[in-house]
Amino acid sequence: MAKTYIRVDDRLIHGQTIVAWCPTLSIKEIIAIDDESAKNPVLKSIMTMGVPSTYKTHIVTTEEAKKILEQESSVNRLVIVKFPGKLDEIKEEIESAELIILGNLAKRADTIHKVSGATGIFYLSDNDVSIIDSVVSKGTEVCFQQLPSTTKTSWEAFKKSI
C-alpha cells in the first residue's frame, strides 16, 4: 500500500528534497501546498526546474491539494508545506500519514521555541506547537530531521525540553 509522508519545510521543493528525501522514502509523487506559489508561474517553474520527470509534481493551493489527497494513490507521496499551520488546514486529508518530518523552519515574528542540535535549527510558535500536538494526539509520528542521514529528534523529546 502506498504511503504519504509530510514534510514541513519553508523552502518547499529544493535540492535536498529531490536528492535525499525522495529516494529515501521511495517517493513517486510530490505535492507542494502553498497558495502563493501555486498562483505564480515563475515560482512554480523555479521549484520544478530541478525535479526529474520521474516524479509526478504538483504545486497547488490548499483546496487543490485536498482534492488530490482525497484520491487513493498507488505510489508513495511526499506532501510539503511551508509552515505547521497548513497541517491544520489539511488535517482530514493527512490523517493516515506515515510520518510528519519537520525540516527547515526559519525564525518568524511569532516564533518563541527554538530547537537546535545536530539536525539543524527549527523555530516554532505556540500555535505551531498546539497544531502539532493535535496531530500527535491522533497517533501520527512527528519528528525533527534536516536530512535522512542526520539525527532524528522526536516530538516527545522536544516537548520535554520546553
State pLDDT tens for residues 69-81.
999 999 999 999 9
Question: Contact at 8 Å (CB) between 36 and 43?
Answer: yes
Domains delineated in the chain: 4-161 (3.40.35.10)
In terms of phi and psi (left: phi > 0; alpha: psi -120 to 50; beta: otherwise), the region of 16 is alpha
Whether 117 shows a pLDDT value over 80: the answer reads no
Residue ranges with strand state E in 15-94: 27-33, 56-60, 76-81
User: What is the SS3 assignment for 91?
Assistant: coil
Sorting pLDDT into bands at 50, 70 and 90, what band is 44?
very high
**CA proximity to 20, closest of 56, 41, 43, 50:** 50
* 133-142 tens-digit pLDDT: 999 999 999 9
Location of C-alpha cell 535540492: 15
Regarding beta strands 141-144 and 4-8, do their DSSP bridges make them parallel or antiparallel, or are they unpaired? unpaired
**In this structure, what DSSP letter does residue 100 have?**
E
